[in-house]
Amino acid sequence: MSMIALEIARQIPASAARRVYSLPVTIGRGSGCNIQLPADNRAISRLHVEIIEEDGRIVACNRASNLEATRFNGRGLRPNERQELVPGDTLTIFGTAIRVLEPVRLGVLIARRGDLKVLAEQYLLPGSALLAIEFAGQVTVDVVDDLATIETDRLVDRLAVLFYFDGDEPTLAVMSNPSQLPILLDRAIVEQQAIYIRPEDTIEVGEHRFEVMSVGQTGIVCEKSRCHVLNISDRSETCRLCGTPLSGAARMLRTRKL
């Protein structure tokens, strides 16, 4: 599924929001648009702009009939003009600026601590969240679009962790009872129930381990059977968790590239 990260900034009222959208994305004053613009401005079309994938490219299709009602990097677009979008480009529709961002992508790998068997591998993007829940020894990972829909009361007595973005900061929240399930970050106990995380972090909760990685990140994996943690190449000659020498260890791509 192709995605695009957008920042929407409105002059009146002053606001800005960043999130990731699945393509296609519709923009206009119509109630069914993914990005809804002020409905009282009749100069804005019900469907003003549509962002689609076309031959592997992300393209903005100007559906507005008014000349220069849509501006691309300051230049007015003609009706039905198509324009390829790349990170840094900005579409301006009257008082709303929509800027294309480079999505921050993180991979979350879930494994059992006992045998390091990988149970799931998921991707975290701004605007979404990952909820990992253990039930009867099995871990499921779901993508959550709206954090308000999570019923925290039913998660207290089981392993349940949430990965999400707090603004621009990747964050881990433990939904379970922290006194029953201690949190270890890089083998050190963490008291907080919600903590900022970064690529390379190793989080252990209960019998499971979560590794946070940049998507497509290449590194060296420790050969010690109880570690096998990813180490960024050129960072150190020894494993950052157990100290095992990394000379001769296998270089590998832990997460596939989106």
Residue with tokens 């989106």: 258
Tell me what pLDDT residue 156 has: 73
- For the cut 90, the answer to whether the pLDDT of residue 59 exceeds it is yes
CA distance 25 to 34: 6
Residue type, 146: D
Whether 124 and 199 map to the same domain: the answer is yes
CA distance 246 to 98: 45
Whether 182 and 97 map to the same domain: the answer is no
CA distance 71 to 75: 5
**Cβ within 8 Å of residue 56, ≥6 positions away:** none
Write the CATH number for 18: 2.60.200.20
Residue 223, in any domain of the structure: no
Q: Give the tokens for residue 256.
A: 């596939």
| More confident site: 106 or 215 | 106
| More confident site: 78 or 136 | 78
Among the listed residues 67, 120, 113, the one whose alpha carbon sits nearest the alpha carbon of residue 241: 113
Whether 145 and 178 map to the same domain: the answer is yes
Residue 194, in any domain of the structure: yes
The per-residue pLDDT for range 12-33, each reduced to its tens digit, is 444 456 666 778 999 999 999 9
Whether 91 and 112 map to the same domain: the answer is no
Would you place residue 232 in the very low, low, confident or very high pLDDT band (cuts 50, 70, 90)?
Answer: low
The per-residue pLDDT for range 103-153, each reduced to its tens digit, is 666 888 888 877 777 788 788 877 778 998 887 777 888 888 778 888 877
Bridging pattern class, strands 183-185 and 251-253: unpaired
Would you place residue 251 in the very low, low, confident or very high pLDDT band (cuts 50, 70, 90)?
Answer: low
Among the listed residues 157, 128, 132, 151, the one whose alpha carbon sits nearest the alpha carbon of residue 142: 132
Whether 112 and 207 map to the same domain: the answer is yes
- For the cut 60, the answer to whether the pLDDT of residue 233 exceeds it is no
Among the listed residues 1, 29, 6, the one whose alpha carbon sits nearest the alpha carbon of residue 85: 6
Residue 222, in any domain of the structure: no
Bridging pattern class, strands 25-28 and 35-36: parallel
* Mean pLDDT for all residues in the chain: 80
**Cβ within 8 Å of residue 224, ≥6 positions away:** 239, 242, 244
Q: Give the tokens for residue 5.
A: 């990260």
Task: Determine whether 102 is exposed, middle or buried from the number of CB atoms within 10 Å of its CB (0-12, 13-18, 19+).
Answer: exposed
- Max Cα–Cα distance, the chain, nearest Å: 67
Q: Give the domain range for residue 32.
A: 3-101
- For the cut 90, the answer to whether the pLDDT of residue 72 exceeds it is yes
